[in-house]
Amino acid sequence: MLLRKAIKRFLDDNRGYVIALTLISMPLLLGFSLLIIDVGRTGNLHTDLQNAVDAMALAAARELDGRDDAISRADAAIEALANSAAFGGGGTGMSLGSHITVTYDAGNDPGSTVTVTYLKEIPADDDEPIEGSMITTDPNEASYAWVVAKPQAMRTIFPMPVGLNRDTINVSADAVAVYRASACDVTPIYICNPFEPAGNTSAAANEAAAEALHTNFAAGNLYGRQIELHSTSSSAPGPGNFGFLATYGSGASVLAEALATGSPGVCYKQDALETKTGAMAGPVEAGINTRFGLYSGSFGNARSDGRYRPARNVRSAQNQTGGANKICGEYNPIMDGSTVGDITQAVPLGYGASMTSLAGGKISSGNNWNYGSYWNVAQGAAAPPVGTVLSNHSSYPSPTGSPSQPSAYDVYRYELNNAAMINHASASGETGAPLTGGQCYSGPDLSSYTSGDYGDRREIFAAIVNCGYENAVGHLNGHKETQAVAFARMFLTKPAIKAGSERYLSLEMIDISGKGGRGTLDEFLREEAELVR
């Protein structure tokens, strides 16, 4: 009886109940606490790894400009980074609070914390995997840098269940960044790729035409080659045509100002150009020709402004009769029939090239301009050997071989280096030195400008567009984003010429951005990288 009462009192006694429940639940609470800590450590580890690969991908993508050394420069950019990633106890054998350094060595994969892969394209949807066909080792094709952190083993604090022999969690991260280019302070002109098939509407032909442009330039096939580009109001421009890019402000006067100064007030993205619609031939002639010391139209009173100064060598076969108002007004070249220039009087640079027709303009079949005749007319002597001219300055892009004769641009640079050549008169009385005073340039002395802030006024910087394809997909109407296959540095062999309702430009291509380029456009390019996945 007493035992029964004692047992009943024990069962009815609630004293110490909380302590009992606490003792029972403590292991569970402790386990959850440790689990939460591990989750937090995993998140921190992933964040550190993600920050590291983001920085590496951006650094690499910034170098993927399509030139032959793009991948080697991208590898070097990643190798220069050393990102400290704090792994709370992460890494086999590491103690709590330790860290490792996320590094990359292109020649030592086992010693690298990340792997780097270069891609020419990525899937349209982020949920789709990157396919092997998208990977490239060709620096001319690489546009994306894909950086993957190798899995890092984070040792857990939360005890693993009995029977499991693993006490770590693998954590990784990856990032893909793409190269983006835009050009600032360039002439607001786009030219149609001369290597695009006329009437092209094919995406495959679009890529082939871009490749042809870069391949031909890299091989030296565009060196000294004259291109005659015609303006057009056609709804379907093609090879040999040119058009305009949007400027900060609207109207012909704003465009003319930008053409004259080379400062459109905006930067142009290579993959998102905005074109300007409408026929605006007049501003081409008036604006661009200030670069030759010719002031006509709305620029008749701009001759005292240094922003519209002429180049230091403006020899262009301009007629020297009729007084300063005529000589420094509209371009009025000496003609021999329909040919600009006369070997008995004066000829422009690039004179005598044998031209073939494009859909909208002309192009010479090679570096076939009449160098000997030009030099005899301009300098009254036999032309110097090609090596003599190129030893002063060479824009020949090919690392092997040499051209049969110098380009008009390299001859121009050779003359610039010798004051006697600039001041030597052709039979017409024209010299390379621009006229000053009166109706001609009367602004600050040209010697006041250093080479850095002077620039070369006979150079323009244009976007090259596959006009046929971009028109076919509706991107040349001024409201859509037009893609440029490259930006180009070009030399004006003579002023813009008016022919009826058209104007045309005569140029040589000095350099292009991307594959095969010589890198002289870097000062105008704003190269950026963007994370895309």
What pLDDT digit, counting tens, does each position of 397-416 carry? 987 788 999 999 999 999 99
pLDDT > 70 fraction of the chain, expressed in percent and rounded: 80
For residue 501, pLDDT over 70 is answered with no
| DSSP three-state, residue 484 | coil
DSSP state of 482: B
Question: 488 and 514 in contact (C-beta within 8 Å)?
Answer: no
Residue 231's pLDDT band (cuts 50, 70, 90): confident
d(CA 323, CA 133): 67
pLDDT > 90 fraction of the chain, expressed in percent and rounded: 39
Q: Which residues of 210-230 are buried (b: 16+ CB within 10 A; e: fewer)?
A: bebbbebbbebbbbbbbbbbb
Strands 99-102 and 83-86: what pairing?
A: antiparallel
Q: Which residues contact 20 (CB under 8 A, 6 or more apart)?
A: none
d(CA 313, CA 503): 22
DSSP state of 256: H
Dihedral of alpha carbons 10, 14, 19, 23, sign:
positive
DSSP state of 68: T
Task: Read off φ and ψ for residue 215, nearest 5 degrees.
Answer: -65, -45
d(CA 311, CA 302): 15
pLDDT value at position 167? 63
Question: 348 and 426 in contact (C-beta within 8 Å)?
Answer: no
pLDDT value at position 93? 37
Question: 290 and 507 in contact (C-beta within 8 Å)?
Answer: no
Please report how many Cα atoms fall inside a 13 Å half-sphere around the Cα of residue 104, on the Cβ side.
Answer: 26
Q: Which residues contact 124 (CB under 8 A, 6 or more apart)?
A: none
Question: 108 and 123 in contact (C-beta within 8 Å)?
Answer: no
Neighbour count for residue 413 (Cβ, 10 Å)? 20
Task: Give the rounded distance of the alpha carbon of 13 from its chain centre.
Answer: 85
| DSSP three-state, residue 403 | coil
d(CA 462, CA 488): 5
- The full 3-state SS of 301-370, as one line of letters, equals CCCCCHHHCCCCCCCCCECCCCCHHHHCCCCCECEECCEECECCCECCCCCCCCEEECCCCEEECCCCCC
Question: 367 and 403 in contact (C-beta within 8 Å)?
Answer: yes
For residue 390, pLDDT over 80 is answered with yes
For residue 506, CA distances in Å to 38, 191, 289, 294, 483 come to: 69, 12, 12, 16, 24
Q: Which residues contact 221 (CB under 8 A, 6 or more apart)?
A: 366
Please report how many Cα atoms fall inside a 13 Å half-sphere around the Cα of residue 54, on the Cβ side.
Answer: 11
Name which of 10-24, 225-239, 275-289, 385-399 the model is least confident about.
10-24
Of 253, 332, 249, the residue nearest 289 (C-alpha): 332
Report the chain's mean pLDDT, rounded to a whole number. 83
Residue 351's pLDDT band (cuts 50, 70, 90): very high
pLDDT higher at 268 or 494: 494
Which tens digit of pLDDT belongs to each residue from 13-62? 666 666 666 666 666 666 555 556 666 667 677 788 888 889 899 999 99
The model's pTM is 0.80
Structure tokens at 284: 């081409």
Average pLDDT over residues 308-317: 93
> H or E stretch including 5?
helix 2-12
Residue 87's pLDDT band (cuts 50, 70, 90): very low
| Torsional class of 341: left (φ above 0), alpha (ψ -120 to 50), beta (otherwise) | left
Helices (H) and strands (E) in the chain, counts: 13, 18
Name which of 75-84, 137-146, 320-329, 370-379 the model is least confident about.
75-84
> H or E stretch including 162?
none
Name which of 135-149, 179-193, 460-474, 506-520 the model is least confident about.
179-193
For residue 318, pLDDT over 90 is answered with yes
d(CA 148, CA 140): 22
d(CA 509, CA 248): 26
Give 185-250 as a DSSP string: S--SEEEE-TTSPTT---HHHHHHHHHHHHHHHHTTTTTT-EEEEEE---SS--TTEEEEE-BSB-
d(CA 459, CA 347): 19
Average pLDDT over residues 244-267: 79
Dihedral of alpha carbons 146, 150, 155, 161, sign:
positive
DSSP state of 140: T
Q: Output the CA angle 11-12-13, nearest 5 degrees.
A: 95
Residue 279's pLDDT band (cuts 50, 70, 90): low
Of 416, 339, 427, the residue nearest 379 (C-alpha): 427
Which tens digit of pLDDT belongs to each residue from 108-126? 888 888 899 999 889 888 8
Name which of 5-14, 220-229, 259-268, 368-377 the model is least confident about.
5-14
Task: Read off φ and ψ for residue 481, nearest 5 degrees.
Answer: -90, 115
